[in-house]
């Protein structure tokens, strides 16, 4: 079930592995509290993207696979806003994040020079899986919606 960005989901504990003690939750991520960090909401992160020539086809329309790249940037910047980077997480704890599943709904194309926003919302955390809703917008208008499931893996 999809959740609207207008209604933030319940505050998740972003911990890989599902353990209860800090040693069991070696990949724990702490989301900001309401009003901190992610633009006023704890579970929605916004990342601006500009559409460049390299992102488009000959008609100046964003090539469909590039929305996956935009979404990846949004997820990476969400982690970075929590004080974690992919490199540091892997180096310190052996934890890595991989896309397990992704469903994309293309609605309206983005075009050359458009200023877009990638909104990333955490919907659920279940053990080593994070369910995310990512929406790519132009001036508030929904262009593309991605339901993404991220798996937390170890060495």
DSSP state of 111: B
Is 55 designated active site?
no
Would you state the structure tokens that stand for residue 43, as one six-digit string?
A: 């579970």
Given 57, 113, 119, 139, the catalytic residue? 57
Rounded Cα distance between 89 and 17, Å, is 14
DSSP states of 61-108: BBPTTHHHHHHHHHHHHHHHHTT--HHHHHHHH--EEEEEEEEEEE-S
Catalytic residue annotation: 57
């Amino acid at each position: 079930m999809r959740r609207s960005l207008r209604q933030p989901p319940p505050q998740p504990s972003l911990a890989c592995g599902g353990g209860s003690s800090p040693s069991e939750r070696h990949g724990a991520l702490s989301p900001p509290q309401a009003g901190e960090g992610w633009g006023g909401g704890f579970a929605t992160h916004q990342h601006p993207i500009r559409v460049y020539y390299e992102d488009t086809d000959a008609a100046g329309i964003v090539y469909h696979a590039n929305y996956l790249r935009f979404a990846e940037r949004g997820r990476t910047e969400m982690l970075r806003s929590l004080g974690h980077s992919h490199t540091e997480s892997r180096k310190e704890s052996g934890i890595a994040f991989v896309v397990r599943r992704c469903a994309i709904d293309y609605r309206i194309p983005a075009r050359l020079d458009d200023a877009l926003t990638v909104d990333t919302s955490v919907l659920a955390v279940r053990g080593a899986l994070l369910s995310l809703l990512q929406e790519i917008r132009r001036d508030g208008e929904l262009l593309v919606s991605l339901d993404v499931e991220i798996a937390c893996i170890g060495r």
